[in-house]
């Protein structure tokens, strides 16, 4: 029997494989998100190097706080490896420096003068040294050198952008940059609505990337080449967009298309799962066969093979590797609770082959044992046909405490990806990565 007052387990951050932190369209892997410096070697600590050398901490002699360049937490003694925080300590913009854990938790705490900056531990909040280059340079925007104007890039995560801006992926060509560059734009450019002067859903207008061209015949009630749907109009917000693509949260069938909100029901509203046919082949683990059916747990895991009812419904999140199941990705494995209204899960597919996107939407989901409609979280998980990547938009969270496992474990039980959002004991709501998109690239 499940008890409400129970121990929880948290995934401990290990060394990361190749990650991309980015926003809400098709993700790409631009390199090691923890260290995007050149591949050339620097001198190491204890072996002729000095603090600030490239890969200084890649040494048997661990670095301490305010030393860098580091690549993982394992290289930092009594501290953690920050991300692109070099300029806070007078180092280049893509250097990573060992800092106290509170300097990476996304909260203005301890003696900080701003979020994860200032005070005795975290370095300068508004560094000048190291913040060089021009908009359009690779990784021009970072958490230490934020881009504060709409249309600046290249960024990796929302924290690389200033107030009111988010980092949106693969829109560089609308702003005079390479097409795969990610750009800081107004937050309304990723809210799933047509607003803020946009001419289509999250596109057009003064702030957002250009909208895709309207397919010939869009709005005539017939699904022509390049159309996902056609409901006999070019009005956004009714399930079939102004460019005849299926909008998030809807399923559309027929000609003219009839669009209805999509929903799905887990085998149990507390600890359950649902088998979903994607309608296309998806390969998250490159060494394993592609699949067209996934098994989605109510507790925020996606399985790529049938592991059995009990493992796929398991609510006890553990350190990885998990001994009871394999072949999954966990985006915030915890004891989530769908039994309270208006908690809901929905699924739909947008786009056309070979660039379809499956969207899994978690809305107003509570944490066991529920009973508090004001304590909920939101998230959207997207599976990309073309790249085999998975992106998670972490939305709002009002649950007072969370302790989630995030990572990936292949069919052989090997952990291929560890969690950059892990924390000790219960995570406060400020540590849920709200407003952040985290991308799991295709795994080996």
Distance in angstroms (rounded) separating the CA atoms of residues 366 and 377: 7
How far CA 166 is from CA of 140, 154, 299, in Å, comes to 15, 12, 27
253-256: long-range contacts, CB 8 A cutoff, minimum separation 24: 255/221, 255/222, 255/223, 255/230, 256/221, 256/222, 256/230, 256/231, 256/232
Distance in angstroms (rounded) separating the CA atoms of residues 223 and 109: 54
pLDDT per residue of the chain (444 residues) written in tens, 0 to 9: 443 333 332 333 333 333 333 333 333 333 333 333 333 346 899 999 999 999 999 999 999 999 999 988 889 999 999 888 888 898 988 789 999 998 987 777 888 887 788 999 999 887 766 677 889 988 888 877 888 899 999 987 777 888 889 888 889 989 999 988 889 999 889 877 788 898 877 888 999 998 876 667 888 998 876 677 889 988 877 878 887 877 655 667 778 887 766 666 788 889 998 888 787 899 999 999 999 889 999 999 999 998 988 889 898 888 788 888 999 999 988 899 999 888 888 888 877 788 888 889 898 999 888 888 888 999 999 999 999 999 999 888 888 767 788 889 999 999 887 665 554 344 444 467 777 888 889 998
**Which stretches of 298-405 are DSSP H helices?**
309-313
Cis peptide before 369 (omega within 30 of 0): yes
What is the three-class DSSP state of 430?
helix
Q: What is the dihedral of CA 95, 97, 101, 107, to 10 degrees?
A: -50
CB burial of 9-19 (b: ≥16 within 10 Å; e: otherwise) equals bbbebbebbeb
């Amino acid at each position: 029997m499940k008890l409400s007052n129970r121990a929880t387990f948290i995934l401990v951050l290990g060394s990361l494989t190749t990650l991309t932190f980015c926003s809400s369209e098709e993700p790409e892997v631009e390199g090691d998100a923890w260290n995007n410096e050149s591949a050339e070697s620097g001198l190491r600590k204890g072996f002729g190097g000095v603090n600030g050398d490239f890969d200084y901490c890649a040494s048997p002699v661990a670095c301490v706080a305010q030393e860098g360049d580091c690549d993982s937490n394992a290289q930092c003694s009594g501290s953690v490896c920050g991300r692109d925080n070099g300029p806070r300590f007078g180092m280049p913009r893509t250097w990573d420096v060992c800092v106290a854990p509170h300097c990476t938790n996304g909260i203005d705490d301890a003696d900080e003068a701003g979020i994860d900056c200032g005070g005795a531990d975290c370095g300068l909040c508004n560094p000048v040294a190291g913040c060089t280059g021009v908009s359009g340079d690779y990784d021009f925007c970072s958490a230490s050198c934020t881009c504060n104007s709409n249309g600046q890039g290249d960024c990796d995560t929302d924290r690389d952008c200033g107030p009111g801006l988010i980092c949106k992926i693969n829109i560089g060509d609308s702003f005079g940059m390479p097409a795969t560059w990610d750009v800081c734009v107004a937050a309304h450019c990723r809210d799933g609505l047509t607003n803020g002067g946009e001419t289509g859903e999250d596109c057009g207008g003064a702030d957002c990337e250009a909208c895709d061209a309207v397919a010939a015949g869009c709005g005539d009630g017939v699904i022509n080449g390049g159309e996902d749907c056609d409901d006999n109009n070019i009005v956004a917000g009714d399930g079939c967009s102004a460019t005849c693509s299926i909008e998030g949260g809807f399923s559309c069938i027929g000609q003219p298309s009839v669009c209805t909100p999509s929903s799905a029901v887990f085998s149990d509203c507390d600890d359950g799962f649902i088998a979903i046919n994607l309608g296309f082949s998806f390969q998250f683990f490159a060494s394993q066969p592609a699949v067209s059916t996934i098994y989605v747990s109510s507790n925020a895991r996606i399985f790529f093979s049938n592991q059995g009812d009990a493992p796929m419904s398991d609510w006890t999140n553990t350190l990885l590797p998990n001994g009871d199941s394999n072949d999954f990705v966990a985006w915030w494995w915890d004891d989530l609770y769908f039994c309270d209204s208006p908690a809901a899960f929905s699924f739909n597919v947008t786009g056309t082959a070979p660039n379809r996107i499956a969207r899994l939407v978690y809305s107003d989901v509570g944490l066991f044992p529920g009973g508090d409609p004001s304590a909920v979280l939101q998230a959207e998980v997207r599976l990309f046909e073309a790249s085999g990547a998975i992106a998670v938009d972490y939305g709002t969270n009002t649950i007072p405490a969370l302790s989630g496992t995030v990572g990936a474990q292949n069919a052989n039980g090997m952990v291929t990806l560890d969690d950059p959002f892990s924390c000790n004991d219960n995570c406060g709501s400020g540590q849920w990565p709200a407003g952040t998109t985290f991308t799991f690239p295709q795994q080996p």
